């Protein structure tokens, strides 16, 4: 015969049975399977946005240093391959004020930026092929031309972002996708 104590303890037990746990795990698995691809796309989009913000931030930094130091400041790609900026770049003052020249004796190195993640490409148009130069007044020192950078990944231009630097030296991120990843 059972005591009344054992009956009352058994009726107060809390927990889940095996069927309930199995159903909950199955539902969780379905939700993870549905969310996985969109999470991967979200992460890839955030990498492109971060790389775009980084190049814009460095362009703004170079322009502000040109004005505050009252001298020419250059951004120079680290890569020896034309138009390829994803391997990093340097920012330095140009002592001879010529602009668009490699760093030389007398120039002051202001910043070195490391390479972008492997999945990111950062390409420039012909204007910003090897250097991007700012005059002491903050204007773009590229003979009156604008410059463009395009940030992409392995998905191509459909997910890329474009940055245009106008003749007054202002960088602007385009709202539309670029036509190509190689401007």
**pLDDT tens digits for 121-177?**
999 999 988 999 999 999 999 888 899 999 999 999 999 999 999 999 999 999 888
Do the bridges between strand 121-124 and strand 147-152 make them parallel or antiparallel, or are there none, so unpaired? antiparallel
- Measure Cα distances from 93 to 75, 111, 136, 165 in Å: 9, 10, 10, 19
Could you give the CA distance from residue 134 to residue 165 in angstroms, rounded to a whole number?
Answer: 11
**Best CA proximity match to 74, nearest among 122, 124, 151, 135:** 135
Do the bridges between strand 171-173 and strand 161-165 make them parallel or antiparallel, or are there none, so unpaired? antiparallel
Given a contact cutoff of 8 angstroms between Cβ atoms, the answer to whether 94 and 73 are in contact is: yes
pLDDT in tens, 87-136: 999 999 999 888 888 899 999 999 999 998 888 999 999 998 899 999 99
Domain ranges of the chain: 17-171
**CATH number of this structure's domain 17-171, picked from the four choices 1.10.10.10, 2.60.120.260, 3.55.40.10, 3.20.20.70:** 3.55.40.10
User: What pLDDT is attached to residue 100?
Assistant: 84
User: What pLDDT is attached to residue 177?
Assistant: 86
Q: Write down the pTM of the prediction.
A: 0.80
Does residue 30 or residue 124 have the better pLDDT? 124
User: What pLDDT is attached to residue 7?
Assistant: 55
User: What pLDDT is attached to residue 118?
Assistant: 86
Average pLDDT of every residue of the chain: 89
For 64-127, the DSSP string reads HHHHHHTSEEEEEES-SSTTB-TT-EEEEEETT---S----TT--EEEEEPPPPTT-EEEE-ST
Given a contact cutoff of 8 angstroms between Cβ atoms, the answer to whether 163 and 151 are in contact is: yes
């Amino acid at each position: 015969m059972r005591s009344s104590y054992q009956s009352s303890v058994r009726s107060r037990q809390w927990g889940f049975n095996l069927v309930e746990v199995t159903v909950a795990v199955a539902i969780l698995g379905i939700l993870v399977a549905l969310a996985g691809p969109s999470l991967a796309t979200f992460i890839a989009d955030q990498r492109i946005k971060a790389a775009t913000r980084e190049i814009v931030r460095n362009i703004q930094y170079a322009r502000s240093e040109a004005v505050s130091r009252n001298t020419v400041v250059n951004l120079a790609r680290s890569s020896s391959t034309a138009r390829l900026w994803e391997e990093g770049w340097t920012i330095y003052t140009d002592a001879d004020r010529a602009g668009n020249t490699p760093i030389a004796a007398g120039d002051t190195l202001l910043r070195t930026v490391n390479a972008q993640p492997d999945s990111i490409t950062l390409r420039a148009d012909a204007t910003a092929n090897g250097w991007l130069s700012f005059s002491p007044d903050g204007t773009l020192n590229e003979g009156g031309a604008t410059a463009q950078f395009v940030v992409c990944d392995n998905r191509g231009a459909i997910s890329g972002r474009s940055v245009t630097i106008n003749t007054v030296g202002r960088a602007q991120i385009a709202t539309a996708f670029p036509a190509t990843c190689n401007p």
